[in-house]
Structure 1
């Protein structure tokens, strides 16, 4: 796994917005309304796409040189780069919702004391699993 990936994105300008494609990353197809949003969405989509490929054990392709990219009249190339350690950290530290069941009397007692259920569960899980408070990367 590399830390930084750079690929050419093709921004296709149309009346209804901007579609984006990465010739080297089939299926990575963000869209946008403005050029600024297109560049931001392209970076985010590319990072998540590569993260998914890494997680699935897929081979990450080499980037095609810009001189070999063929464009149509409404298209513009843009070099998009992502720093994967940040993407990996953000994805792994996304909060997930869990449904749990506790006795009503315990719920009532905890609510009376204004207990933060999420914080207590996180602390208990870390203690049970022998983990420190540092985020996982």
Structure 2
């Protein structure tokens, strides 16, 4: 898993919502109805943006330092973290008893899907 941390500029709107921009990621913009929602949306936008760049094999720009960013009155900067999981499929050899393999074939289950679901539950990840 790769970790990315970027400064986001939060601009408060008249209706209590916030617009979020990333100076280092032109075009990466989000909004939140409240400050808590804006923090969630900022992380979601950053995660999706970085996943898109890596999926398209584009360079991920370096993050600016907090001291180098200028804000307008009322705006503030906050660091936002995104953990990017590599979702590519990998082949693994697993062994199961023959009778179990026969049952899987009979029921039409996907052994890969069952294993993924079991591992997610066991690892306590979404």
Q: TM-score, normalised to structure 2's length? A: 0.69
Spell out structure 1 runs of 4+ moving beyond 6 A. Answer: none
CA RMSD of aligned residues (A): 2.6
Corresponding position: 1:5 with 2:4: yes
Distance in structure 2 (CA, Å) of the matches to 1:76 and 1:37: 16
Equivalent residue, structure 2, for 1:107:
none
| TM superposition shift of 1:47 | 0.3
Show structure 1 runs of 5+ residues with no match: 93-118
Give how far 1:132 is off.
7.4
| Deviation string, structure 1 residues 63-85 (Cα, Å, up to 9, x no partner) | 10010001000211010011112
**In the alignment, is the contact (CA less than 8 A) between 1:14 and 1:74 conserved in 2?**
no
Q: What is the CA-CA distance between 1:25 and the residue it aligns to?
A: 0.9
Counterparts of 1:67 and 1:10 in 2: how far apart (Å)? Answer: 13
Task: State the aligned residue count.
Answer: 99
Tell me the TM-score normalised to structure 1 length: 0.63
Q: Matched residues in 2 for 1:42 and 1:7: separation?
A: 10
Pairing 1:123–2:110 present? yes
Identify the residue that residue 62 of structure 1 maps to in structure 2: 62
Residue segments in structure 2 that go unaligned for 5+ positions in a row:
89-106, 118-126
Equivalence for 1:47: 47
Q: What do residues 29-51 of structure 1 show as CA deviations (whole Å, max 9, x unaligned)? A: 01011111111100011001100
2:25 alignment partner, SS class? coil
